[in-house]
Structure formats: structure tokens, C-alpha cells
Amino acid sequence: MSPYTQFIYHITYSTKHREPTILHHEKKRLFAYIHNLLTNKNCHLYRINGVEDHIHILTHIHPTISVSKLIKDIKLASSDFISREGIFPKFKGWQDGYGAFTETIKAKNRLIKYIKNQEEHHKKVTFLEEYKALLEEYEIKFDPKFLL
């Protein structure tokens, strides 16, 4: 019998020190690059978006790929792409950590809308506030000193 899986992850991580280095007019190039990377790894991207200091990815992850390895590959490859293409001149890299939250298929449309509306959402809430709220929502214990 073939394996049937549905592993949907909401992944988010920020730029190093949450510096606002992702330029609005060039971010679509970055997102297209990440989309292509995910497609090549047999993952299905539902939505990607972000603002100046972080990105969100909603994706199905192929069962043969570990989440940590996928995120490491995305960060390394996208950092190289950003450097090679020179699209974000002040970009110094991604933060060391990340948030990866499993989601149900029933939450997919709500999360697509949430990620699509990041620009509007972040007029009211900082990434740090958003990230803490996600950690609390998913009942993940964390030490606030590691979020600075």
C-alpha cells in the first residue's frame, strides 16, 4: 500500500537580529526562489509571505524530509540566493532558530489568509509579539531571553 500523508507546517523565522532588511519590491523574487526549492523537494507550498524582518511559509512537507533539514536547506539556499542576486543589500542572514507548527488540513484556508495579510497584520503587532503568541498558542515552553 502506498503511504498517504498530510504533513502541513506553518514555518516562521526572522532575519538576523530581526533587522528590517527584506525589501518589499524584491521579496517576490525570494518567495519564488523558495517556492521552487520546495517544489524540487516534493513539498507543496500553500502560501509564503512576510514583511521586512521575517517570513511565514505554509507548506506540505514530503514524509521523507525532516522539518529541521528542510528549514536548514531553505535558509542556506535562500541566503546564498540573496547574496548572489544582491536583492537585499543590508541582509546579514537569518536568525539561528525558527518556529514550525503542525497544522490540520482544516486550518489551511485560515492560515493562507493569515499569511497573505502579513503586511496589514504587522501594522498592529510586531514579529516578537506574534512569535510569542504562536509559542503560547501551541503550548511551547520558552525562555524569553532566547527571543531577544
CATH number, residue 25: 3.30.70.1290
Q: Edge-to-edge strand order for the sheet containing 44-51?
A: 44-51, 54-60, 8-14, 99-103
pLDDT score at 144: 82
pLDDT score at 5: 84
Within a domain: 85: yes
Within a domain: 2: no
At 80-107, the pLDDT tens digits run 999 999 999 999 999 999 999 999 999 9
**How far is C-alpha 28 from the geometric centre of its chain's CA atoms?**
14
* Mean pLDDT calculated for residue range 55-68: 96
At 2-60, the pLDDT tens digits run 678 888 999 999 999 999 999 999 999 999 999 999 999 999 999 999 999 999 999 99
Handedness of CA 62, 97, 13, 133 (dihedral sign): positive
Q: Which residues contact 114 (CB under 8 A, 6 or more apart)?
A: 56, 121
Within a domain: 3: no
Q: Which of 17-31, 62-76, 97-111, 130-144 has the lowest mean pLDDT?
A: 130-144
Within a domain: 1: no
Structural domain count, the chain: 1
Within a domain: 62: yes
pLDDT score at 11: 98
DSSP SS3 for 91: coil
Within a domain: 141: yes
List the domain range (segments joined by +) for residue 51: 8-147
pLDDT score at 27: 97
* Mean pLDDT calculated for residue range 108-119: 96
* Mean pLDDT calculated for residue range 56-83: 97
Within a domain: 29: yes
